[in-house]
């Protein structure tokens, strides 16, 4: 299934594997190999957008312990 990311101005919180892969810019095969655990909802397998964001945030290494940006994001 091809995903047109430009048609999704507001990403849903829970993403199927195609949308999750598009969200972080990888293929579905690469997504399956990453250390990001999907969530099961009945028979559906979805990825939490916040888990994808946390994974991407850690690509540059851990943030400073008292990073004000992290504190702001935690309140959202």
CA-nearest of 38, 42, 43 to 15 is: 38
pLDDT of 21 reads 96
Which ranges constitute the DSSP H helices of the chain?
Answer: 17-24, 28-33, 49-57, 68-75
Where residue 61 falls (left for φ over 0; alpha for ψ -120 to 50; beta otherwise) is left
Give tens-digit pLDDT for 35-56. 999 999 999 999 999 999 999 9
| Tally of domains within the chain | 1
What residue numbers bound the domain in which 49 lies? 5-75
pLDDT of 63 reads 59
CA dist 51 and 59 (Å) reads: 13
Rounded mean pLDDT of 18-43? 96
For residue 17, is pLDDT > 90?
A: yes
Whether pTM > 0.85 for this model: the answer is no
Rounded mean pLDDT of 21-44? 96
């Amino acid at each position: 299934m091809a995903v047109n990311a430009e048609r999704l101005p507001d990403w849903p919180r829970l993403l199927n594997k195609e949308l999750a892969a598009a969200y972080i810019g990888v293929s579905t095969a690469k997504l399956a190999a990453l250390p990001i655990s999907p969530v099961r909802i009945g028979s559906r397998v979805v990825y939490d957008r916040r888990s994808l964001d946390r994974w991407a945030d850690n690509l540059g290494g851990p943030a400073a312990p008292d990073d004000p940006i992290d504190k702001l994001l935690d309140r959202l």
